[in-house]
Amino acid sequence: MAKIYLAKPYGFCSGLKKALSLINDCEKKYQHIYCLGELLHNPLVIKDLQKKGIKMIKEKDIDFLNNLSKEEKKVTAVIIRTHGISELILKKLENFGINIINTTCGYVKRVCLIAENLKKEGYWVVIVGDSGHPEVKTIKSFLAGRALIFKRNLNFKKYPKIGVIAQTTLAEDSYQEALVDIIHQGQPKELRIFDTICPEVKKRQKEVKKLAKEVDLMIIVGGKNSANTKRLVAIAKKAGCKTIWISTGEELKKYQIPFKKFGKIGIASGTSTPEEFVNLVIKNLKKEVTER
Amino acid sequence: MAKIYLAKPYGFCSGLKKALSLINDCEKKYQHIYCLGELLHNPLVIKDLQKKGIKMIKEKDIDFLNNLSKEEKKVTAVIIRTHGISELILKKLENFGINIINTTCGYVKRVCLIAENLKKEGYWVVIVGDSGHPEVKTIKSFLAGRALIFKRNLNFKKYPKIGVIAQTTLAEDSYQEALVDIIHQGQPKELRIFDTICPEVKKRQKEVKKLAKEVDLMIIVGGKNSANTKRLVAIAKKAGCKTIWISTGEELKKYQIPFKKFGKIGIASGTSTPEEFVNLVIKNLKKEVTER
């Protein structure tokens, strides 16, 4: 019978746990709570938050908040999600006089601070990450015209001083590959490289890399729009392990996989996957392993 | 008939030209001139200097200078060569009250300053270069216990902040290889890389790399104990070109090479090779090409 191995840590990352606890604290305090963008990349969790009355709004639509009356503003709050927000929008909200629940992750704050300092010291800053990701947009906002999004064979020669940072959820291997590409392009006068990958993300990636080599099947649990979950899937596949990616415990049945035929099954989860989801996967998997 | 191509720049580098001019200026001013170590890595030039009365002495033997009388000290000078010297020895000489002719190359001064600043800011400093070279010893003296000489698979993980610098005469390719090796070992929290290779050395290397691909034979002129000349030879060979390394114009005959059979012949020189040597090689080569 199949043995199940759970990669740790699992469930929400510490940043999200803190964010959700902050939001929880003020659910009774405010009548209207808005979140700028989706709080996290997990549609089911988002649905739960919406049920509680939290509305997801887009940055471009925030102006209505300024038109609220003084009394309405008192009972309204805006959540800044863990990915952070541009300095410009934050200033705007502050000027609105609206309540702000800032849940920006500490690791994102750190990379923004590094970016800002690099800019002040005259560096051009290369961000290794996904240009469309909200975190990268936040970081960019601290760099004005000094940001370069990494791509292969970008010509760095015209920039004498270059700083390099990574999106906090980037895979370590991808960062390494990007750095080697930069080095191969010839040396700027000064090159400054910061390890800004979140230690928890790093630990999950490391665990998946290790576990995928030991088990016969890897199940990665997380939202299909979660970048860090996507990376765990890629890492498991790269290690040569048969890998499935599910969002919920129920999805397991869809695959029609004879789970009990596998000797060892590994489970890992993205940072925006609640612990309960993972527990449900384990529960359902145990059923599958014994029933089928 | 063979065509001759000369890689530029050739002859002494600007640092050595300046050093020799400084020495020239004070030859009449002082009765006794000592040089700490060999001024440059070219035995014939050294012989010339010795003929002029300049004595090469070792660092460990400098104490006799302190025992000179006040009058003797007035007419005695010590040359600090382009490779620089440790802070400790410099201080010692200053305390002796002896005249110092400091010809330390500007590029060496720059790398020492970078090293010192990195140390002050809490970095461990990796020097990519030859641990036995006087320049590397000079740089190390600014780093106290914070210096690490680069070698493959050195374990950098225990150092959170790492600065990397290169010996000024290192080949660009070697620096790049070392940096990739460092990157592959996993990221320190912060990695700071400086391009400290001398621009003139770099230019010579680039020219040799290019020329070696175009000609049928490369002749590198320079002292057999000159590290930068040795690198030019390696670069030409790596480019797949037949390469000979000679110290003087006379040495050309030794090789018994049918020079006129070659379509294109390239000539390049190390930074410690006088222009006259290169001119003599060209003169003798022209003779060989027409006579043999």
- Whether the per-residue pLDDT at A108 is higher than 80: the answer is yes
In chain B, which residue ranges form alpha helices assigned H by DSSP? Answer: 14-25, 43-51, 70-74, 87-96, 106-120, 134-141, 172-184, 199-214, 227-238, 275-291
Q: A122-126, A139-143, A238-242, B288-292: which has the minimum mean pLDDT?
A: B288-292
Q: Which CATH number fits domain B3-11+199-291: 3.30.420.10, 3.30.1310.10, 3.40.1190.20, 3.40.1010.20?
A: 3.40.1010.20
The confidence band for B158, taking pLDDT boundaries of 50, 70 and 90, is confident
Task: Say if the Cβ atoms of B187 and A180 lie within 8 Å.
Answer: no
For residue A67, with 0-12 CB atoms within 10 Å meaning exposed, 13-18 middle and 19 or more buried, which class applies?
Answer: exposed
Question: Domain B107-193 - what CATH class?
Answer: alpha beta
User: From the CA of A183, how many Å to the nearest CA of chain B?
Assistant: 6
Task: Give the mean model confidence (pLDDT) for residues A48-60.
Answer: 92
Q: Where are the alpha helices (DSSP H) in chain A?
A: 14-25, 43-51, 70-74, 87-96, 106-120, 134-141, 172-184, 199-214, 227-238, 251-254, 275-291
Closest residue of B to A181, CA-based?
B180
Residues in B touching A195 (Cβ below 8 Å): 187-191
Q: Outline which parts of chain A fall under CATH 3.40.50.11270.
A: 14-105
Please answer yes or no on whether A184 and B194 come within 8 Å at the CB atom.
no
In angstroms, rounded to a whole number, what is the distance separating the alpha carbons of residues A252 and A265? Answer: 13
Q: Which of A179, A186, A187 sits opposite B183 (nearest CB)?
A: A179
Q: Is B202 on the interface with A (CB under 8 A)?
A: no
B184 is in an annotated binding site: no
pLDDT band at B41 (very low <50, low <70, confident <90, very high): confident
B135 is catalytic: yes
Q: Is A41 annotated as a binding residue?
A: yes
Q: Closest Cα of chain A to B243: distance in Å? A: 26
Task: Establish whether B279 is an annotated binding residue.
Answer: no
The pLDDT assigned to B27 comes to 87
Dihedral, CA atoms, A54, A55, A56, A60, nearest 10 degrees? -140
Contact A192 B189 (CB under 8 A): no
Among A113, A162, A183, the residue to mutate for chain B (most B Cβ within 10 A): A183
| Interchain CB distance below 8 Å, A180 and B176 | no
The mean pLDDT of A98-119, rounded to a whole number, is 96
Q: Does B192 touch chain A (CB under 8 A)?
A: yes
Check whether B26 is labelled as a binding-site residue. no
Which pLDDT does position B185 carry in this prediction?
86
**With bands split at pLDDT 50, 70 and 90, how would you rate the model's confidence at B291?**
low
Q: With an 8 Å Cβ cutoff, are A187 and B180 in contact?
A: no
Nearest CA in chain B to A193: B191
Catalytic entry in A116, A135, A200, A288: A135
- Report the CATH fold assignment for B15-105: Rossmann fold (3.40.50)
DSSP annotation of B133: S
Query: A191 in contact with B at a CB cutoff of 8 Å?
Result: yes
Q: Which of B172, B179, B195 sits opposite A189 (nearest CB)?
A: B195
Instruction: Write out residues 131-150 of B within 8 Å (CB-CB) of A.
Output: none
d(CA B12, CA B16): 6
Task: Pinpoint the residues of chain B covered by CATH 3.40.1010.20.
Answer: 3-11+199-291, 107-193
pLDDT, position A186:
77
Q: What is the mean pLDDT of residues B15-21?
A: 93
User: Boundaries of CATH 3.40.50.11270 in chain B?
Assistant: 15-105
Interface check B66 vs A, CB under 8 A: no
Chain A residue nearest residue B198, CA to CA: A189
pLDDT tens digits, A216-258: 999 999 989 888 899 999 999 999 999 999 988 778 888 778 8
Distance from CA of B197 to the nearest CA of A (A): 10
Q: Which residues of B touch A172 (CB under 8 A)?
A: 186-187
- Does B104 belong to an annotated binding site? no
Report pLDDT for B145: 86
Q: How far is A275 from chain B (nearest CA, A)?
A: 30
Q: What share of chain B is helix, strand, coil (3-state, %, to 5)?
A: 45, 20, 35
Give Cβ neighbours of residue A240 (< 8 Å, ≥ 6 apart). A212, A213
Alpha-carbon distance of B272 to B36, in angstroms, equals: 17
Contact state of A193 with B195 under an 8 Å Cβ cutoff: no
A31, A38, A51, A55 from A47: Cα distances, Å: 18, 10, 6, 10
Is B183 an interface residue toward A (CB < 8 Å)? yes
- Out of 3.90.25.10, 3.40.47.10, 3.40.50.11270, 2.120.10.30, select the CATH number for domain A14-105: 3.40.50.11270
Q: Is A184 known to sit in a ligand binding site?
A: no
Average pLDDT of chain A, as a whole number: 92
Q: Is A67 annotated as a binding residue?
A: no
In terms of CA atoms, which chain B residue is nearest residue A183?
A: B176
CB burial of residue A177 (10 Å; 0-12, 13-18, 19+) = middle
Q: Which residue has the higher pLDDT, B200 or A154?
A: B200
Question: What average pLDDT does the segment B203-218 reach?
Answer: 96
B92 pLDDT tier (thresholds 50, 70, 90)? very high
- pLDDT of amino acid B282: 93
Average pLDDT, stretch B7-29?
92
Rg (CA), chain B: 21
Question: How far A175 CA sits from the closest chain B CA (Å)?
Answer: 9
Give B155: exposed, middle or buried? Use CB within 10 Å, 0-12, 13-18, 19+: exposed
pLDDT band at A291 (very low <50, low <70, confident <90, very high): low
A179, A184, A188 ranked by CB distance to B195: nearest: A188
Q: Is ipTM beyond 0.90?
A: no
CA distance readout (Å), B9 to A59, A238, B14, B43, B204: 58, 49, 10, 21, 6
Chain A contact for B113, CB < 8 A?
no
Give yes or no for A194 touching B (CB within 8 A).
yes
Which residues of chain B does A197 touch, with a Cβ-Cβ cutoff of 8 Å? 187
Instruction: DSSP letter for B81, please.
Output: P
Which positions in chain A touch B190 (Cβ < 8 Å)?
A: 192-195
pLDDT band at residue B86, thresholds of 50, 70 and 90? very high
The predicted structure's pLDDT at residue B227 = 85
Cβ <8 Å between A176 and B184:
yes
